[in-house]
Amino acid sequence: MTYTNLLTELRSNILIITINRPDKLNALNRQTLNEIRDAVQSVYDNSEIKGAIITGSGNKAFVAGADISEFKNASRKSGEALAQYGHDIFFMIERCPKPIIAAVNGFCLGGGCEMAMSCHIRVASENAKFGQPEVNLGIVPGYGGTQRMVQLVGKAKALELIMTADIIGAQDAWRIGLVNHVTGNEALIPKCMEILEKIKQKAPVAIARTINCVNGYFEEGTDGFKKEVEEFGYCCETEDFAEGTAAFLEKRKANFKGK
């Protein structure tokens, strides 16, 4: 797929996906969502890609939300379809078997915050600003924000952030557990690369299965402990497990194949 609103770069086997509509503060219109879905699918499918970073172009915004200009004349039916489409893509990010980090480099509002929350890890630059301002527009967050915000920061803080539509800075986002790290603006991508480089050295099957287990905690009808038992057993029959344990006993670095 040729992208109109994304830039992609493969750097050290990490796909850097940059949402590129800076004049609209990288707002997520339909086309951009389609392209994000395609880029994330390539993270699943391409064995050269070991992980991904999602960021925004320019120095003002990560993503300032869903594109409000596309909300005109929305009906109950079209609204539900739009929210479902966002859900499907953000579940794809959350369930990706390879690590995806949001590099939040400015306004991270509404659908932007929801996308960042669907990533496995969030790193923010000092100028990042977070919020779910949907109630200003007369809607609820529609791309998973009411659920993932609670998962990350707890019910009380989530309700306050969503109901007041307050916009908070990077340090406050870190304090409440919304982001993992805060860096200087220039250090943002290097910090994400450093984390991914570390994860890249580990057994890929174990990483994929870890993501699956942790997501299991939040899945309705899933017993996460049972899932962990199953995934542990699964890992025991992988080549990565044989290699990891052999490398430890032979006092050498493991050479994982992801099998």
9 among known catalytic residues: no
Shortest gap between Cβ of 132 and ligand COA (angstroms)?
8
**Selected catalytic residue, list 35, 94, 114, 231:** 114
Sign of CA dihedral 174, 159, 105, 171: negative
Shortest gap between Cβ of 18 and ligand COA (angstroms)?
17
Nearer to ligand COA, 28 or 199 (CB): 28
Kind plus residue range of the DSSP H or E element containing 122: strand 121-125
Neighbours of 259 (CB within 10 A): 11
Window 20-59: contact mask with ligand COA (x via CB under 6 A): ----xx-x--------------------------------
| Binding test (CB under 6 A) with ligand COA, winner from 56, 99, 133, 145 | 133
68 binds ligand COA (CB under 6 A): yes
For residues 83-122, which are near ligand COA according to CB under 6 A? 107, 109-111
Q: Which stretch binds ligand COA (CB under 6 A): 5-13, 66-74, 115-123, 246-254?
A: 66-74
239 among known catalytic residues: no
Sign of CA dihedral 60, 124, 91, 133: negative
Neighbours of 248 (CB within 10 A): 10
Q: Please compute Rg for the chain using Cα positions.
A: 19
**Selected catalytic residue, list 134, 231, 239, 243:** 134
69 binds ligand COA (CB under 6 A): yes
In terms of DSSP bridges, do strands 6-11 and 14-19 run parallel, antiparallel, or are they unpaired?
A: antiparallel
Size of the site for ligand COA (CB under 6 A): 16
Nearer to ligand COA, 24 or 157 (CB): 24
Asked if 138 and 165 count as a contact pair (C-beta separation under 8 A), the reply is no
For residues 135-194, which are near ligand COA according to CB under 6 A? 137
145-153 and 111-118 are packed helices; what angle lies between their axes, rounded to 10 degrees? 60
Buried b (16+ CB within 10 A) or exposed e, 203-215: bbbbbbbbbbbeb
Start-to-end CA distance of the chain, whole Å, equals: 29
Shortest gap between Cβ of 189 and ligand COA (angstroms)?
22
Order of strands across the sheet with 168-169?
61-63, 107-109, 129-131, 168-169
Task: Say how many residues make up the chain.
Answer: 259
Shortest gap between Cβ of 117 and ligand COA (angstroms)?
14
Nearer to ligand COA, 122 or 129 (CB): 129
Footprint of ligand COA (CB under 6 A): 24-25, 27, 64-69, 107, 109-111, 133-134, 137
Active site residues: 114, 134
